[in-house]
Amino acid sequence: MNGTERVVAQLNALHEAFVRFKACVASLPSGGFLERMNGWSPRDVTAHLIGWNRYTIEGCRAILRGACPLYVADESNDFRTVNRESVERYASSDRNELLAELDASFGELRAFLLTLSDPQWDKDFGVRYKGHVITVENNVEGLQMDYDRHREGIETREEKTGR
């Protein structure tokens, strides 16, 4: 697979994960959006992903300048501070409002990623952090996995509750 095909495949995988997550949250029964699971509600997860769509843009811009994304400073704290800030910043409890914000933030991310050349996704544009290289590619892959992991968690909870 050449660079262009890899980037297209990764953008498609991210988009599919986003669509699946959004459909999952949209299909929750009334009240299910605000019901906590493992400390977070689907509302909180949605706010978290809105934040990470925007953090990913900021982080990728930093990487392309040769700097570490600011959020890596919170890695040792399992990104608790960064995540809390997103949950607080996008504080609405209205599902439609948060899904619209999720759409907007994902649109911003996708538009940004489409401006990048294939080589900008590669390790040549990465920055070293604690023995590994942070790239646009692995940031996007991490976000896609986060969408999938959270959707799977919500789906598992819904199956266990019989909804």
Q: Which domain holds residue 152?
A: 3-161
pLDDT in tens, 94-111: 999 999 999 999 999 999
What percentage of the chain has pLDDT greater than the value 70? Answer: 97
Q: Using CA atoms, how far apart are residues 28 and 155, in angstroms rounded to an integer?
A: 9
pLDDT of residue 111: 95
CATH number for position 87 = 1.20.120.450
pTM score, two decimals? 0.94
| Residues recorded for the chain | 163
pLDDT in tens, 17-60: 999 999 999 999 988 999 998 789 999 999 999 999 999 999 99
What's the total number of domains in the chain? 1
With 90 as the cut, is the pLDDT of residue 6 above it?
no
Query: What's the chain's average pLDDT?
Result: 93
Residue 32 has phi, psi (to 5 degrees) of: -65, -25
Phi-psi region of 162 (alpha: psi -120 to 50; beta: other; left: phi over 0): left
Of the candidates 118, 48, 114, the one whose C-alpha atom is nearest the C-alpha of residue 85 is 48
With 80 as the cut, is the pLDDT of residue 141 above it?
yes
Query: Within 10 Å of residue 76's Cβ, how many Cβ atoms?
Result: 9
Number of H helices, E strands in the chain: 5, 2
pLDDT in tens, 102-137: 999 999 999 999 999 988 988 678 999 988 899 999
